[in-house]
Every structure is written in structure tokens, then in C-alpha cells.
Amino acid sequence: GLVNTKDMFARAIKGGYAIPAFNFNNMEQLQAIIKAAVETKSPVILQVSKGARNYANQTLLRYMAEGAVAYAKELGCEHPEIVLHLDHGDSFELCKSCVDLGFSSVMIDGSHLPYEENVALTKKVVEYAHQYDVTVEGELGVLAGVEDEVSAEHHTYTNPEEVIDFATRTGCDSLAISIGTSHGAYKFKPEQCHVDPKTGRLVPPPLAFDVLDAVMEKLPGFPIVLHGSSSVPQEYVDMINQYGGKLEAAIGIPEEELRKAAKSAVCKINIDSDSRLAMTAAVRKVFVEKPAEFDPRKYLGPARDEMEKMYKHKILNVLGSDGKL
């Protein structure tokens, strides 16, 4: 069945790689994730956001994830390690309902709350979830940008002085931190970037690795999570625009920075937007090149293939979780 994150995080930290946490909202994304994980022999975290629950129904998603374990075995993987994780849970009730349904991991995101309220809420979720062997991710620091209804104008980096107290008092299993990443496809403004003279592409300012280092110094060996880690591949942005889309100056996290993070105590890297871009690019291409096509399998199929390619690339060339089953 589904597993929690405990053992896979311990191995990832020791081994200097990170587990991919990919969001899913539909069957094609799920198939692409599972195929990529099986073919690369990687553990994987399936993430369900509040938005995904509203879109697809949490019960359906939960049984799709259960089905994914059987699907992985059918694809030839004897012992798949698949986590079903609630992404950005915002209340005790939401986390409880996911635990009760059979999720193997939940995130309680109290990062927008005053510190003591974040501690109290996270602790309450941990006390409940741990009774059922469900692991819990907490968050300290605020990412700039929009997530669900909450939006922040600026990053508030994680304060390394708080992490020991937070981890100890809440008992959380992993900690999401804020070091300059953000959600979505517009992580930086062009005016924050410089132009790479070789490629002509915009290069964003570096992440705050000094903050990550300080957190790791306070909590040696503790599992750290990086949200907002899509790299927004320029080829997808170009493809979307080429086939009638209109994305302007979409900028993500350079993969080199994610590679560096994956080698540290960062053992879970969250990627959602890159999957949306791959899917949109592939669908747009079919619509433009084959305007007479109206069988959804003829455009969702290519979209699924494109996502699978992207997921494999992340596992093999960025996170390094291949061959770790």
C-alpha cells in the first residue's frame, strides 16, 4: 500500500538526493508520474492540494493513488514506494479528514499565522496524524506569491532561530522553509534578473542558501522541504506561445540550484507548475496542428507523454532519486 515519508526521507538525506513531490489532479498526470517513477526506480510523493480536492474529489483522488500502487506493480515494480500527501493543508479539520481517508502524509501550513499559533496548530495535527502513522510536514517562513486564497507580496525567509523550537515543540516530521522560491510560473520579475550573455535568457537572483545552511546547522539531519521548485522550462513557455498561448516572462528556479539543494538536507522538492506547462504545451500543439481532432485521448495522450518525459528528467538529472527503491 501507500507509505509515509519517514524512511524515504532518512535515506534521501544520507544519500544526498531528494524525493520528487509531484501534484496531481487527473488521471493523465498520475499515470505519467507513476510511469516515470517506475522506469527510474524512484520513490515518489503524490501531492493533492486543496484545489485538487475541490476539482477532483478527495475520495476519488485517494483511490486513484491506491490504484497507482497496483499500477506500479503491474508495470513491473515489485516494491513501489508511493506517498499520498496533502499539500498545504490549512486547518486541523482538513488534515484530519485526509488522515481518516487514508492519506499517508499531510502538510499543515501554518506559515501565515503568528508563530505561536503555527506551533499550536501544527502540534495538534501531529498528535492526531501520528496515531495513524501518518507523517506531517510543517512550514516556517512565507513564500511570496499566491497559494490558494492566501497571497504574500514579499518572501519572509525562514528564521533559523525558530526552527529548533518549532521542530521540538510540534514533533513534525519535516519542515518546509522559505529561501526565495515561490509558487507558479512567475517566480521573479524580469527586472530582478540579469541576461545570460551566452543564451540571452533571463537569470534570476540566487536562492538564500545561507538561510538553508543556517537551518541545517540548527537541525542537523532534519528533513527539509522546498516548495515552489518548478524551473519553468523555457521550451514549454516558447511552445505555448508558439501555439497561440500568451505567457510573458515566465521565470522559474534554475535546475542547477535545485541540484545543489537536493544534495543537502532538502529531501522533498515540490513541482507542480512544470507539469501544467508540459501539459498545456502539448495540448496546444495538437490543437493547432490537428484542428480536426476531437478525441480527448489524441491530445491528452501526447500531454501525458510530455509530462512523463519532464518527470523523468527531474528524477534523473535534477533530484537524483533514481535507483533508490
Please report how close the Cβ of residue 266 comes to ligand 13P at its closest, in angstroms: 13
Nearer to ligand 13P, 174 or 270 (CB): 270
Phi, psi torsion values for 69, nearest 5 degrees:
-65, -45
Q: Using CA atoms, how far apart are residues 181 and 224, in angstroms rounded to an integer? A: 14
The reply to whether 183 sits in an annotated binding site is yes
Nearer to ligand G3H, 227 or 304 (CB): 227
* From the list ligand 13P, Zn ion, ligand G3H, none, partner contacted by residue 98 (C-beta under 5 to 8 A by kind): none
The reply to whether 139 sits in an annotated binding site is yes
Nearer to ligand 13P, 55 or 287 (CB): 55
Task: Return contacts of 147-156, CB within 8 angstroms, 24+ apart.
Answer: 147/88, 147/109, 147/183, 148/49, 148/50, 148/51, 148/88, 148/90, 150/90, 150/112, 152/112, 155/180, 155/182
The reply to whether 155 sits in an annotated binding site is no
* From the list Zn ion, ligand G3H, ligand 13P, none, partner contacted by residue 52 (C-beta under 5 to 8 A by kind): ligand G3H
Q: Which residue is nearest to ligand G3H (CB)?
A: 51
Element (H, E) at 87: strand 82-89
Largest CA distance in the chain: 60
Please report how close the Cβ of residue 307 comes to ligand 13P at its closest, in angstroms: 13
Nearer to ligand G3H, 145 or 160 (CB): 145
Q: Concatenated DSSP letters for 88-152?
A: EE-SHHHHHHHHHHT-SEEEE--TTS-HHHHHHHHHHHHHHHHTTT-EEEEEESB-SEEETTEEE
Residue whose grid cell is 514506494: 81
Residues 6+ apart with CB under 8 A from 296: none
Nearer to ligand 13P, 135 or 273 (CB): 273
* Binding residues for ligand G3H (CB under 6 A): 23, 49-52, 87-88, 147-148, 183, 272
Residues recognised as catalytic: 87
Please report how close the Cβ of residue 189 comes to ligand 13P at its closest, in angstroms: 16
Q: Using CA atoms, how far apart are residues 179 and 214, in angstroms rounded to an integer? A: 11
Please report how close the Cβ of residue 139 comes to Zn ion at its closest, in angstroms: 9
The reply to whether 79 sits in an annotated binding site is no
Q: How many residues form the binding site for Zn ion (CB under 5 A)?
A: 1
Q: Which residue is nearest to Zn ion (CB)?
A: 227
Judged by CB under 5 A, the residue of 53, 123, 155, 227 near Zn ion is 227
* Binding residues for ligand 13P (CB under 6 A): 23, 87-88, 183-184, 227-230, 270-273
Please report how close the Cβ of residue 271 comes to ligand 13P at its closest, in angstroms: 5
Alpha helices in the chain (DSSP H): 6-15, 27-40, 50-56, 58-74, 92-101, 115-130, 163-170, 209-218, 234-242, 255-262, 273-289, 296-313
Q: Which residues are annotated as a binding site?
A: 88, 109, 139, 183, 227
Q: Binding residues for Zn ion, per CB under 5 A? A: 227
Q: Which residues are annotated as a binding site for Zn(2+)?
A: 88, 109, 139, 183, 227
